[in-house]
Structure 1
Amino acid sequence: MAAATHPWLNRLQHEWLLLLFTTLTLVLACVDPQPWEHYRRWLQWPTLCGLLGLLIAIQGIRDSGMVQRFAGMLVARMHSLRGVGLLLVSMTALLSMVLTNDVSLFLMVPLTVAIGGMSNLPILRMAVLEALAVNAGSTLSPIGNPQNLLIWQHAQLPFLHFVAALLPAAAVMFLLVAMLTVAWLPKHRVELYADRLGQQQRSVSLALLSVISLAMMVLMMEHGHAPLGAMLLVVPFALFSWRSLARIDWLLMATFATIFLGLGHFAELPLIDHALGRIDFKQPLALYLGGIASSQLISNVPATVLLLDRAQDALALAVAVNVGGFGVVIGSLANLIALRLAKQPHSMRLFHQVSVPFLLVCAPLVYLVTRLLS
C-alpha cells in the first residue's frame, strides 16, 4: 500500500498552491464558520464542471495525435523561433477574444508543447508568453473573460462601446507582450528533430470525438449547462478512451476548488469589507490601484465581484482588473491553466520572474494611455 501511495504523496509535495489554499480554506472555516450554502456558492460548481469538460476534450485531442501532426505542419513552414513565437502569441490573443481566455489556452498550449517536442522552441517561455497574451487579448472583448462578462452585463453597455473603451488598454498590453516575445526568444532558426517526428500514433476517431466534445462543451458553458456537458463527456470517454480520463490533471481540479473556496471566503470577511469601505473608489487612481491590488490578492474575477457595486466607472474597473491579471499567478486563473498544461519544471518561478516585472511596467503605461484618451 505504501508503494502505491508514494507517487501521489511525492507529487503532492510539489503542489504548493493546492496545499496553501487547502490550509487557507480550513483556517477560515475554523475562525469564521459559515453556513453550508455559502461554501456551495464559493465552490463555483458550474465553473469546475466546465473546466473538467475542457480537460477531457483537450486530453482526447492530445491522445489522438492530431495536435502533433498539425504542429509538425506548422513548424515546417516557419523559419525563426521568434516568428513561431509571435504567431503563437498572436493566435492565442485573437482566440481569447472570441473563445474566452481559458478555452484559448486549452487549444494553444498543447499545440505549443507539441511544437516544442519536435523542435528547439522553448516550451516554458512560450507558455508564460501565452499566459500574458491571453490576458491581453481577452481584455478587448466583453466575452473574452469572466470579469469582462460580469462588468458588461452589470453595466448594460453596447458591445462595440465596450470594445472601443478597452481598445487602448488591450493594445498597450499586447504590444508589450509582442515586444517581450521578440526580446526573450532566441534569435535562432527553427530546428526540427527528425527522430521525434511521426512517433505519435494517430486516431482519427478519437480526434473526431474530442473535437465534437470540445465544441459541445463550449456551447454548454455559454448557455449555463456546464455540469450537464461534463457528464455527457464522461460517458463516451469512459467507454471508448478511458485512458484519456485517467491522464486528466485531477490535482488541477482540486487546486481550483480550494482556490475558489479559500478566496471566496476571504473576499467576504468583515475585515475586507471594512477596509474597502475606507477607500474612495470615485477617484480614478484609487479604483485603478484597488482593482490591481485586489486582483493580486484574490484573483481578478473575485476582485470584480467585490468592487462592482463600489465602482461608479465600470469600464475603468474593467481596465484595472484586466491589468491585475498580470503579476502573481493567481491574478488570473488563466495563468495557472497555462502553466499546468505546459507541464514544465520550475514553471512558477519563471512565470513570476517575468510576470511581476511585466505588471510593474504595464500598469503605469496602461493608466497613462487610458487617461490621456478618456
Structure 2
Amino acid sequence: MSNAASSRPAPSTDAAPAGEAGGNGLLWVLVAVAIVFAFFRPRAPLDYLKLVDWQTVGALAGLLVITQGVERSGMLQATAQRLLGKVTDLRSLALLLTAGAALLSALVTNDVSLFLLVPLTRVLATQAHLPLARLVVLEALAVNAGSALTPIGNPQNLYLWHRSGDSFLGFMAMMAPTVAVMLFWLLVAVWLLVPRTPIALKPAAEAASVQPRLLSLAGLLFVAFVIALDQHWLLAGLGLVFGAFLLLYPRVLRGVDWALLAIIALMFVDLRQLAELPAIASQLKQWPIAEGWRAYLAAIATSQVISNVPAAILLDGPVRDLPALAAGVSVGGFGCVLGSLANLIALRLAALPRGLREFHKISIPFLLVCAATALLLRLG
C-alpha cells in the first residue's frame, strides 16, 4: 500500500471550477426568491446592498482565491500521496479527516477549516476510490460540531459570547455538554457510514509539477489576509490578494468559484428579508420561547429556515435563555443545508453534482438524534 501510493504521480491540477462541476441550482432558486420579494416588497436598490454582510462575502472571496492558489501549486496532491501512503483503510481516513475538521474549526473557525480540508479531500478522491460526497458531508458535520465549542469557532458563538459577557473558558464550559453530544454522534456516524475496507488506488495519472513559489505566495497571503481581517482591513487585504495573483498568477483567478459568492450574497438578501416579514416578527412575540426547551427547539427550527447566524441574532430578543439559544443554533446547523453557511461552502468546494441529496440523507437524521439527545441532556 505504502509503496504503491508513494510511486503514483499526482493528477493534473487544472480541474473545472467547483461551480461548473457542482451546478448552480441553488443559485437560481435564490434568484427566484429575490425576484418574488422584489415584486411583493420592493425597496430601493441600495437597500438590497445593505442586506448583504460584505465582511463575510469579502472574507470568503479572499479565502477562495488563496485556496485556489494552494490547489494549483500541487501541494494538496503531494499531501494526498503521503496520506494515502500511511492510512490503509477508509474508516481510518474518515476518522482522521473529521477529527481534523472538528479540531481546526474550534481554533480557526469552521469556514477556514473547510477551505483547508475539503480541497484536500477532493484531491484524495482523484487518487483513490473514495466516497467523496460522504466524506465531505461528514466534514461539514464535524466543523459545525467542533466550532460550537469556542467563542471564536463560528459567527453565532462570537455574537452570543459578546452578548453574554462570560469569559472565554466560561463560554466553553457552557457549550461543552452540547458539543460532546454532537461529537459522540459524529463518531457513530463515521463508524456506521464508512466501512473499514482497504483504500483502492486509481490508475496513475499524469504527474503534476509542484510550484513552491505559488505555494509560498499563497501561504504568505493567507497570513497577511487573516491579519487584515483581524484588524478590520478587509479592502486592503482583498487588494493585496487579488493584486498579487492578478500580477503573478492570473490563472488562479479564473479557477475561482465565483458563483459561490453570488449564492452567499443572495442568501443574506433572501433570508434577512424573510426574517423581516411582519408575520414572522409577530409570531416570535406570541410564542412562549423565552427559555428552556422551547427556546432550544425554536432556535433549531429557525436555523433550518434562515441559517443559524441570523437565527441567533433574530432570537436574541425574545429568548432570554442564552445557553438554550447557543445550544439550539449550534445543533440547528445540521439538518437543512441552509442551517449553516459552512454546509454550503463544503458542498461547493467539493464540486458535488448531487451533493444536496447526499447531504440531506445524512444531515437530517443526524439533526434528529443530536437534537433529541442534547434536549434530554438539558432536561436531565
Indicate the TM-score class for this superposition, using the shorter chain for normalisation: over 0.9
Q: Which residue of 1 aligns with 2:347?
A: 339
Q: Which residue of 2 aligns with 1:66?
A: 75
Cα distance change, pair 153–283 in 1 and its aligned pair in 2 (3 A): closer
Quick check: 1:47–1:226 contact (8 Å CA) kept in 2? no
In the alignment, structure 2 segments of 5+ residues that lack a partner are 1-15
Deviation at 1:194, TM superposition (A): 5.5
Quick check: 1:21–1:262 contact (8 Å CA) kept in 2? yes
Match status 1:348 vs 2:360: no
Return the alpha-carbon distance in structure 1 between the equivalents of residues 104 and 245 of structure 2: 26
Q: Which residue of 1 aligns with 2:145?
A: 136
1:92 is paired with a residue whose SS is helix
Runs of 4+ residues over 6 Å off in structure 1: none
Q: Identity over aligned residues, as a percent?
A: 40
- TM-score, length-normalised on structure 1? 0.93
Match status 1:276 vs 2:272: no
Q: Which residue of 1 aligns with 2:264?
A: 256
Equivalent of residue 65 in structure 2, options 32, 56, 63 = 56
Return the alpha-carbon distance in structure 2 between the equivalents of residues 36 and 153 of structure 1: 32
Quick check: 2:21–2:353 contact (8 Å CA) kept in 1? no
Output aligned runs, 1:173-322, within 5 Å: 173-193=182-202, 195-196=204-205, 199-322=207-330
Deviation at 1:262, TM superposition (A): 0.7
Deviation at 1:309, TM superposition (A): 1.9
Q: Which residue of 2 aligns with 1:4?
A: none
Match status 1:80 vs 2:112: no
Quick check: 1:46–1:227 contact (8 Å CA) kept in 2? no
Q: Which residue of 2 aligns with 1:93?
A: 102
Return the alpha-carbon distance in structure 2 between the equivalents of residues 141 and 222 of structure 1: 17
Letter of the 2:215 counterpart: A
Deviation at 1:180, TM superposition (A): 0.8
Letter of the 1:265 counterpart: Q
Quick check: 1:50–1:227 contact (8 Å CA) kept in 2? no
Q: Which residue of 1 aligns with 2:335?
A: 327
Letter of the 2:223 counterpart: A
Q: Which residue of 1 aligns with 2:9?
A: none
In the alignment, structure 1 segments of 5+ residues that lack a partner are 1-6
Letter of the 1:235 counterpart: G
Return the alpha-carbon distance in structure 1 between the equivalents of residues 345 and 24 of structure 2: 14
Aligned alpha-carbon RMSD (Å): 1.9
Quick check: 1:97–1:137 contact (8 Å CA) kept in 2? yes
Equivalent of residue 42 in structure 2, options 30, 33, 37 = 33
Quick check: 1:162–1:315 contact (8 Å CA) kept in 2? no
Deviation at 1:367, TM superposition (A): 1.3
2:289 is paired with a residue whose SS is coil
Higher mean displacement: 132-141 or 261-270:
261-270
> Alpha-carbon deviations, 1:176-219, whole Å to 9, x = none?
111111211122112333514x7222100000111111222222
2:287 is paired with a residue whose SS is coil
Cα distance change, pair 231–319 in 1 and its aligned pair in 2 (3 A): same
Tell me the matched-pair count.
364
- TM-score, length-normalised on structure 2? 0.92
Return the alpha-carbon distance in structure 2 between the equivalents of residues 82 and 57 of structure 1: 30
Higher mean displacement: 264-273 or 124-133:
264-273
